[in-house]
Structure 1
Amino acid sequence: MENYSKGKNVEEELERSKIPIKDLPDNFLWMQVKGGSKMANLLSHAAGILEDKAATAVVWTGAGVAISKAISCAEILKRQFSIEHQLTKLSYKTVEEYWEPKIDGLETLVVKRQIPIIHILLSVNAIPDTNQIGYQSLNGKKFWQKEQSSNSKQNQSHKPKKPFKHKKT
């Protein structure tokens, strides 16, 4: 590749109509997360829309390096609003890289790559088809809420242990 220099990248654009989730609500907020997006900005925008009840569902989309950021945003928002219904889908988009020759007589190279994309639907209202692959529900539980059992009730009343002290020899 020392005889080539990187040229342009042509990426397949994400479109609202191509989100691979069936039965999307008509009025949903689509948050497209990029690698350079600031999570605080994304979360405050989405939270404002949900608080105003302008939308009852949010789709978080992230491609490539932005996947982990999209997941984090979805998990934070899901916990903040106790959103009970989630549907996660994976897909790919095509990126064509063009490599221009540095030496006469060589042809331009085109490298096609598939970049993974994650789509996470969070919905306040029930999702029509709960048998879809990628569906998760809290079933009325709140996040971080533990189920009470007889063992956990006993453990709550115990005294804290004394710190361990080493014996000097």
Structure 2
Amino acid sequence: MENYSKGKNVEEELERSKIPIKDMPEDFLWMQVKGGSKMANLLSHASGILEDKAATTVVWSGAGVAIAKAISCAEILKRQFSIEHQVTKLTYKTVEEYWEPKVDGLETLVVKRQIPIIHILLSVAAIPDNNQLGYQTLQGKKFWQKEQSSNSKQQQSYKSKKPFKHKKT
């Protein structure tokens, strides 16, 4: 690749109409997360819209390195507002990289890559098609409820035992 220099990138733009989730309301809030987006800014904007009841549905979209940030924002908002309905879809977008030759006689190289995209729909209201792939609900459960299970009782019994001390030899 020492005989080539990186040229332009051509990539598909995300479009509101191409979000692959069925039965979405017309007035949803679309949060496009980028790699350099500040989570505090994204969350304060989305929280303000939901608090004002200007929208009851939010779609978080992130591509490539922004996927983790989009998931984190969706999870924080979901817990903050106890949002019960979620649909998650994964898609891809195509990016074409052009490499220009530095040496005469070589052709321009075009490298096509597929970049993953996540779309997370959060809805306060019930979603009409709850049988679609990627749908999940809390089914009346609330976040952060303490549940006593046998596993947590075991952990409590371990905590009550004295810590192990090394003997000096």
* TM superposition score normalised by structure 1: 0.90
Question: Which residue does the alignment assign to 2:26?
Answer: 26
Q: CA deviation at 1:162?
A: 6.0
Matched to 1:73, the amino acid is: C
> 5 Å matches for 1:1-169?
1-147=1-147, 161=160, 163-164=162-163, 166=165
Deviations 1:76-101 (A, max 9, x none): 00000000000000000010000000
Matched to 2:99, the amino acid is: W
Structure 1 unaligned spans of 5+ = none
In 1, Cα distance between the equivalents of 2:66 and 2:41?
15
Structure 2 unaligned spans of 5+ = none
Q: 2:146 aligns to what SS in structure 1?
A: coil
Q: 2:6 aligns to what SS in structure 1?
A: strand
Q: 1:49 aligns to what SS in structure 2?
A: helix
Q: CA deviation at 1:148?
A: 5.3
In 2, Cα distance between the equivalents of 1:15 and 1:26?
14
In 2, Cα distance between the equivalents of 1:165 and 1:106?
69
- What count of residue pairs does the alignment treat as equivalent? 166
In 1, Cα distance between the equivalents of 2:77 and 2:40?
11
Q: CA deviation at 1:7?
A: 0.4
Deviations 1:109-138 (A, max 9, x none): 111111000000000000001111100100
* TM superposition score normalised by structure 2: 0.90
Q: 2:160 aligns to what SS in structure 1?
A: coil
Matched to 1:144, the amino acid is: W
Q: 1:94 aligns to what SS in structure 2?
A: strand
In 2, Cα distance between the equivalents of 1:162 and 1:7?
64
Identity in percent: 82
In 2, Cα distance between the equivalents of 1:85 and 1:50?
15
Matched to 1:120, the amino acid is: I
Query: Residue 101 and residue 168 in structure 1: after superposition, are their counterparts in 2 closer, same or farther (change >3 A)?
Result: closer
Q: CA deviation at 1:163?
A: 4.3
